[in-house]
């Protein structure tokens, strides 16, 4: 089975984080979101993949290359103009048409059993299978209406609870038969949810759901992104971990829920309370306190007496002495000068918070200086 990963979207709901980075590259527990999807595919024997690109395409392509270092074969399909979910798949028909194929969003966070999904798809004999999950708040999702045999009868877009005919959300993970290409026009912006699935219903073609009880999140909003990281650190979703686990007797006072990457330096007087991920090449000084859930991206420096709690820091951040970062997300190369404080903030790439300055509950666009 071959797969397509949809990675061409703009990720506007994650701004300002996606102003300089495509959404599939935002890090989850220290690794790009799309990297976790590739890991999942490989674990289930899906090694031939095509990825569509649009927003900062070189960032994704240069990071993963041809996939050979992962034991995979990755093709890249650049879209000069966005083609939509279905149009992007149609653009790769020649690669996907050989048999049933999988389509996944590049920003999904899940440990879905793809082998079971494939078996369920074969058993129904339908043209498509949509992965669904029960949700409490239907106003945040497109929901799928099914009969007792899980055959799809209709859809509702973010219905109010009193109007919802179902509590099954569409997870944006699909398994298709090649016949689906007959219902997607070429070289046209076309969408699965708004067009293709309605066409299949109108023609009374059978397609079904595959409900899951395991973990899934689309990390599509800032809150979902933050929670997805924390869930990954807590072990609620089965993804590959960064680095090695520290022993509980480590002089930092850390425990086995602290994972440390290659070349990271943690001073004996630093305090780490998990769950924490410390990326490759990080440096944590004496007197610094890291209280999880926290992710420190590779190359990040935390100075003496600095405090980081409930936060996600991307690579190459610099947190000077006596700073505090709490409940925040910091993009790449953010610097906080001595005594700066950031709380409940979302800080874009290469921002600087000056000495003694405070940022509370704010989102800073990339390159902003608060001095």
What string of pLDDT tens digits covers the 371 residues of the chain? 999 999 998 888 999 999 999 999 999 999 999 999 999 999 999 999 999 999 899 999 999 999 999 999 999 999 999 999 999 999 999 999 999 999 999 889 999 999 999 999 999 999 999 999 999 888 888 899 999 999 999 999 899 989 999 999 999 999 999 999 999 999 999 999 999 999 999 999 999 999 999 999 988 889 999 999 999 999 999 898 787 877 543 445 545 589 999 999 999 999 999 899 999 999 999 999 999 999 999 999 999 999 999 999 999 999 999 999 999 999 999 999 999 999 999 999 999 999 999 999 999 999 999 99
Q: Is 128 helix (H, G, I), strand (E, B) or coil?
A: strand
Distance CA 101, CA 170 (A): 18
Q: Which of 356, 355, 344 is nearest to 364 (CA)?
A: 344
Pick the CATH number of 244-370 from 2.40.50.140, 3.30.360.10, 2.160.10.10, 2.60.40.3080: 2.160.10.10
Q: Within the chain, which residue ranges are assigned CATH 2.160.10.10?
A: 244-370
Q: Which residue has the tokens 């095509």?
A: 50
Query: Superfamily for 2-233?
Result: Spore Coat Polysaccharide Biosynthesis Protein SpsA; Chain A (3.90.550.10)
CA distances for 85 relative to 4, 9, 174, 187, 193, angstroms: 11, 9, 11, 12, 8
pLDDT at 255: 52
Q: Within the chain, which residue ranges are assigned CATH 3.90.550.10?
A: 2-233
Q: Which of 176, 157, 119 is nearest to 4 (CA)?
A: 176
**Run of H or E including 90:** helix 84-90
């Amino acid at each position: 089975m071959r797969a397509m990963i949809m990675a061409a979207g703009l990720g506007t709901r994650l701004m300002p984080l996606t102003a300089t980075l495509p959404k599939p590259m935002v890090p989850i527990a220290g690794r790009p979101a799309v990297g976790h999807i590739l890991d999942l595919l490989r674990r289930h024997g899906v090694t031939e993949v095509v990825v569509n690109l649009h927003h900062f395409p070189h960032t994704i392509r240069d990071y993963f290359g041809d996939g050979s270092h992962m034991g995979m074969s990755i093709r890249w399909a650049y879209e000069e103009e966005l083609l939509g979910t279905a149009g992007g798949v149609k653009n790769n028909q020649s690669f996907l048409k050989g048999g049933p194929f999988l389509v996944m969003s590049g920003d999904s966070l899940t440990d879905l059993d793809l082998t079971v999904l494939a078996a369920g798809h074969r058993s129904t004999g339908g043209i498509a299978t949509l992965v669904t999950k029960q949700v409490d708040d239907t106003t945040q999702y497109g929901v799928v209406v099914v009969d007792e045999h899980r055959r799809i009868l209709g859809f509702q877009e973010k219905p109010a609870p009193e109007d919802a005919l179902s509590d099954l959300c569409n997870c944006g993970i699909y398994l298709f038969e090649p016949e689906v290409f007959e219902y997607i026009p070429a070289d046209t912006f076309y969408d699965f949810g708004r067009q293709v699935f309605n066409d299949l219903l109108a023609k009374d073609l059978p397609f079904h759901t595959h409900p899951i009880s395991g973990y899934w999140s689309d990390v599509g909003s800032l809150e979902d992104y933050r929670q997805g990281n924390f869930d990954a650190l807590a072990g609620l979703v089965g993804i590959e971990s960064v680095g090695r686990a520290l022993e509980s007797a480590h002089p930092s006072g850390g425990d086995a829920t602290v994972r440390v990457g290659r070349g990271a330096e943690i001073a004996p007087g630093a305090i780490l309370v998990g769950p924490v991920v410390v990326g490759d090449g990080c440096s944590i000084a004496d007197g610094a306190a890291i209280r999880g859930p926290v992710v420190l991206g590779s190359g990040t420096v935390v100075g003496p007496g600095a405090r980081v709690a409930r936060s996600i820091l991307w690579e190459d951040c610099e947190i000077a002495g006596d700073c505090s970062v709490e409940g925040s997300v910091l993009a790449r190369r953010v610097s906080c000068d001595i005594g700066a404080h950031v709380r409940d903030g979302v800080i874009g790439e290469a921002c600087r918070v000056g000495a003694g300055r405070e940022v509370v509950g704010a989102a800073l666009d990339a390159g902003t200086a608060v001095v």
